[in-house]
């Protein structure tokens, strides 16, 4: 599992991206999906997950539908059209950022000249 500080800041983008891949998803499902897709390397804890979802809802990037499945309440989250827009933007930003990081991590040997 990656150190927390690394994951920090990427969770919102990850959630928006995953929500964009299905019609609707609920919190617990998102949490499991992230663990599954990253082989537990990224763990979306509940204390992080729910506040983010609530914030996205407040920002009107997602809407919700409550259902009861097998006697347990379930809250589905869906991207609004603004949310879809935002998901695309954040995805692009993340991919660009990742490229920038890779180029930074590509060691530039200090210029040396053998002449």
Partner DNA sequence: TACATATACCTAATGTTCTTATGTATAAGC
Partner DNA sequence: GCTTATACATAAGAACATTAGGTATATGTA
Residue ranges in contact with a second copy by CB under 8 A: 2-10, 12-14, 17-18, 20-22, 34, 37-38, 41-42, 91, 93-98, 100-105, 107-110
83 near DNA, judged by CB under 7 A: no
Whether the CA torsion 101, 106, 110, 111 is positive or negative: it is negative
Pick one of a second copy, DNA, none as the site partner of residue 69 (Cβ within 5 to 8 A by kind).
DNA
Nearer to a second copy, 12 or 61 (CB): 12
Q: Which stretch binds DNA (CB under 7 A): 21-29, 83-91, 94-102, 105-113?
A: 21-29
Say if residues 24 and 75 touch (Cβ distance below 8 Å).
no
Say if residues 84 and 20 touch (Cβ distance below 8 Å).
yes
Nearer to DNA, 45 or 82 (CB): 45
**How many positions of this chain bind DNA (CB under 7 A)?**
32
Beta strands (DSSP E) in 8-112 are 25-26, 62-69, 72-79
How many other CB atoms are there within 10 angstroms of residue 89's CB atom? 12
72 near DNA, judged by CB under 7 A: yes
């Amino acid at each position: 599992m990656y150190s927390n500080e690394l994951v920090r800041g990427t969770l919102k983008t990850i959630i928006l991206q995953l929500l964009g891949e299905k019609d609707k998803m609920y919190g617990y499902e998102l949490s499991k999906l992230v663990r599954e897709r990253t082989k537990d390397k990224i763990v979306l804890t509940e204390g992080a997950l729910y506040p983010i979802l609530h914030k996205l809802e407040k920002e009107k990037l997602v809407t919700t539908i409550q259902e009861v499945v097998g006697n347990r309440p379930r809250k589905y989250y869906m991207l609004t059209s603004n949310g879809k827009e935002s998901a695309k933007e954040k995805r692009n930003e993340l991919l660009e950022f990742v490229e920038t990081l890779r180029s930074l991590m590509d060691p530039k040997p200090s210029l040396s000249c053998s002449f």
